[in-house]
Amino acid sequence: MTSKPLVLLAVGDLILDAPGSESCFSQVAPVLQSADVVAGQVEVVFTSRGVNTFVDPRAAPPNDPKHMKALSLAGFDVATLAGNHIWDSGAPGIEDTIQGLKDLGIAAAGAGMNLEGARAPAIVERDGTRFGFLSYNCVGPIQTWATPQKPGCAYVHVITHYEMHLAIPGGPPTIYSFPEPQSLKAMTEDIRKLRSECDVLVVCLHKGIVYIPAKLAMYECAVSYAAIDAGADLVLGHHAHILKGIEVYKGKPIFHGMNHFVWTAMDTRFKDRPPSLYEQMGLNIFGDFYDGRPNPEEKRMTMIAKCVIEDRQISRVTYLPCMIDGQGQPEVLKPDAAGQQVFQYMETITRAAGLNAQFQWDGDEVLISSS
């Protein structure tokens, strides 16, 4: 018996760190609410009793738990939690965020009160089709990781090696990064286990080099390919706060970086303001190849990934180009000048990264196929 088509929508980082969270979704809520399943990466925890753990100088203060309701009102069904800010408010932040999402009817994956809980999937069912989600943090810090006795996130440990191939003291190194085998094995074991429990399997990875257009670190493809080899149907990347390219591996789509979708407190009107503390840190860390301030337009361009599911499998993959306006509200674009700007940017960074996805407009959506 053929089931009716279902629609899965997914977005990148959601940072509801200021009053007015509901208004940030005002332009896109009708689109999100029209889907059968909507997923997003909750970047910062919600609690009124957390304590700053000081494990990361970029530690984010906890969100007011009242802001969480914006996710439910906008239509979110699944929240992935594995990320570099999940431990910023300690165990209370994780516990209260998971419970708050549960109270709103939003399934969560990627964090828990121990490692077993963090590695557990989120599963939602629509019309007999089961959607499974797993979430992993690839960027650290190590204190965010769950252990058998400690709350935290599911993770893939990435090792970085710097090699000086040139006889130029102080010159640029060649950078190698690769997933540590045991943590990668744990991820693939989770995927293989979930494969028999769902029809559509989504793996979300918090990964990538922040604010650097096009460039992918070596480990990003390795972890993404391993997820698909283990049984994932779709890989979604976030964390870089900028769009990254798309590829199709063995017929399965990989969105390497979806940018943030909502960042309530972020001033998107960047002109004539000094770099923020976070941006200045990027300048200090990355030096010459990161100026600390990406092009303002690059920060504003984002997307909604869309999958149509027929007969319990993904039959069509597109993205909806979006632009974040001066009030922090993402808007779905038409294939006009603004929509074409995002389309061309995705084309440019995908080609620059050596990825194989091909794009073409299909109505108001951008169809993704392989070369």
Domains and CATH numbers, the chain: 6-370 (3.60.21.10)
Residue 317 zone, left/alpha/beta (φ > 0; ψ -120 to 50; rest): beta
- Bridge partner list, 330: 324
Angle (CA) 128 131 136, round 5°: 165
Question: Which parts of the chain fold into alpha helices (H)?
Answer: 21-24, 29-33, 69-74, 90-103, 115-119, 181-195, 218-230, 277-286, 296-300, 337-352
- At residue 24, the pLDDT reads 92
Q: Which amino acid is at 89?
A: S
Q: Is the pLDDT of residue 59 over 80?
A: no
Residue range 234-274, pLDDT digits in tens: 999 999 999 999 999 999 999 999 999 998 766 433 344 45
Amino acid at 151: P
Instruction: Over range 280-284, report the average pLDDT.
Output: 51
Amino acid at 174: T
Please provide the distance, in angstroms rounded to a whole number, between the alpha carbons at the two ends of the chain.
Answer: 33
pLDDT at 205 over 80: yes
Q: What is the mean pLDDT of residues 332-347?
A: 96
- When pLDDT is averaged across residues 145-157 and rounded to a whole number, the result is 98
At 273 the pLDDT is 45
Amino acid at 110: G
- The stretch 151-161 carries a mean pLDDT of 97
Tokens of 94: 């994780």
Mean pLDDT of 25-31: 97
pLDDT at 123 over 80: yes
Mean pLDDT, residues 211-221 taken together: 93
Question: Is the pLDDT reported for residue 3 higher than 90?
Answer: no
Q: Which residues of 306-331 are buried (b: 16+ CB within 10 A; e: fewer)?
A: bbebeeeebebbbbbbbbbeeebbbb
pTM recorded for the entire structure: 0.93
Task: Output the CA–CA distances (angstroms, integers) from residue 76 to 37, 81, 114, 361, in the order listed.
Answer: 7, 14, 25, 26
User: What is residue 8's predicted lDDT score, i.e. its pLDDT?
Assistant: 98
Query: What is residue 347's predicted lDDT score, i.e. its pLDDT?
Result: 98
Look over the chain and give the mean of its residue pLDDT values, rounded to a whole number: 90
Provide DSSP, 313-352.
Answer: EEEEEEEEEEEE-TTS-EEEPPTTHHHHHHHHHHHHHHHH
Cα 345 to Cα 302: distance, rounded to the nearest angstrom = 11
State pLDDT tens for residues 4-21.
899 999 999 999 987 778
Distance of CA 36 to the CA centre of its chain: 19
Structure confidence by residue, pLDDT tens digits, 283-329:
454 444 444 445 678 889 999 999 999 999 999 999 999 999 888 89
pLDDT of residue 170: 80
